[in-house]
């Protein structure tokens, strides 16, 4: 079971109930995917951070990837970000075992891997579509093998800025979560993900997957606003003031 103790986290009981259930299912080898949606600054990342602490307490590894708003980021940037982090903190022998036959294709995405793991041979040249499938299959296999050693929580933040290749890779992995110990948590601004946007199109596909769930993050109810004020200031504010704060925020 997940240990729910830790630094005080105000509100979000319903959201955390769904997320901890997804985490517990993942620990039981039933991989899950949860999307946290809401307006800017509403607490999506903060909620994901709370779940990340619970995951780490339960023995899982947590890796984060952030989507980049501006131009110039390479394809698959959030995946490069999180895979690089995992690779750099994993002991070489264990990493080599987890990479398996996928070491060479992954090294084309993350060249630093060549300096970490010895003996990676160049991969044969393939047609673009075949090369992409080889890369996706290598990354998916790597994450699944790694999750056999310890559960993995993958966080993809600000997916409304994700490039299409990153979303395509996300879909590929999401379709293979069954019988894995991989929990994928994505955050996005629902105001920036209409149905005709790249993310909107993929969300419609994700919704058909049995392991997929979506959770809206909204403002705190008045009673939680009172708790938040008390936690932050040590003051029990009068109800009239809390109603005013709630109305303005």
Residue pLDDT, tens place only, 143-196: 999 999 999 999 999 999 999 999 999 999 999 999 999 999 999 999 999 999
Would you mind telling me the total number of residues written for the chain in this entry? 249
pLDDT at 14: 87
35 within 8 A of 215, measured Cβ to Cβ: yes
CA 158-149-55 angle, 5° bins: 45
Chain-centre distance for alpha carbon 29: 17
187 within 8 A of 51, measured Cβ to Cβ: no
Mean local confidence (pLDDT), 96-111: 95
- What residues does each domain of the chain span? 15-218, 221-249
Contacts of 233 (CB under 8 A, 6+ apart): none
pLDDT at 70: 79
Q: What backbone torsions phi and psi does residue 21 show, to the nearest 5 degrees?
A: -65, -40
180 within 8 A of 29, measured Cβ to Cβ: yes
Given a cut of 80, whether residue 109 has pLDDT beyond it is yes
Q: Rounded to an integer, what distance in angstroms lies between the CA atom of residue 151 and that of residue 56?
A: 9
Q: How far apart are the first and last CA of the chain?
A: 35
Q: pLDDT category, 122, cuts 50, 70, 90?
A: confident
DSSP-derived 3-state class of residue 78: helix
Per-residue pLDDT tens over the stretch 27-42: 999 999 999 999 998 8
Sheet holding 212-216, edge to edge: 61-66, 152-157, 182-189, 32-38, 212-216
Q: Rounded to an integer, what distance in angstroms lies between the CA atom of residue 182 and that of residue 23?
A: 9
The percent of residues above 90 in pLDDT, for the chain, comes to 73
Q: Which CATH class is domain 15-218?
A: alpha beta
pLDDT at 6: 43
87 within 8 A of 95, measured Cβ to Cβ: yes
Given a cut of 60, whether residue 53 has pLDDT beyond it is yes
């Amino acid at each position: 079971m997940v240990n729910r103790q830790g630094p005080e986290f105000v509100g979000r009981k319903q959201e955390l109930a769904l997320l901890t259930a997804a985490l517990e299912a993942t620990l039981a080898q039933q991989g899950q995917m949860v999307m946290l949606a809401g307006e800017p600054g509403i607490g999506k990342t903060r909620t994901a951070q709370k779940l990340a602490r619970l995951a780490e307490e339960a023995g899982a590894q947590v890796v984060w990837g952030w989507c980049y708003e501006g131009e110039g980021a390479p394809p698959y940037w959030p995946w490069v970000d999180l895979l690089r982090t995992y690779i750099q903190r994993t002991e070489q022998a264990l990493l080599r075992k987890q990479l398996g036959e996928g070491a060479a294709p992954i090294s084309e995405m993350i060249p630093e891997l060549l300096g970490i793991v010895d003996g990676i041979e160049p991969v044969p040249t393939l047609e673009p579509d075949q090369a992409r499938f080889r890369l996706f299959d290598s990354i998916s296999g790597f994450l699944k093998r790694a999750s056999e050693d310890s559960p993995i929580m993958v966080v993809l933040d600000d997916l409304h800025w994700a490039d299409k290749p990153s979303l395509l890779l996300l879909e590929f992995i999401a379709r293979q979560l069954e019988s894995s110990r991989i929990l994928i948590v994505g955050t996005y601004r629902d105001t920036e993900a209409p149905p005709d946007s790249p993310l909107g199109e993929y969300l419609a596909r994700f919704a058909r997957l049995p392991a997929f769930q979506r959770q809206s993050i909204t403002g705190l109810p008045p009673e939680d606003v009172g708790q938040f004020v008390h936690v932050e200031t040590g003051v029990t504010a009068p109800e009239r003031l809390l109603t005013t704060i709630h109305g303005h925020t």
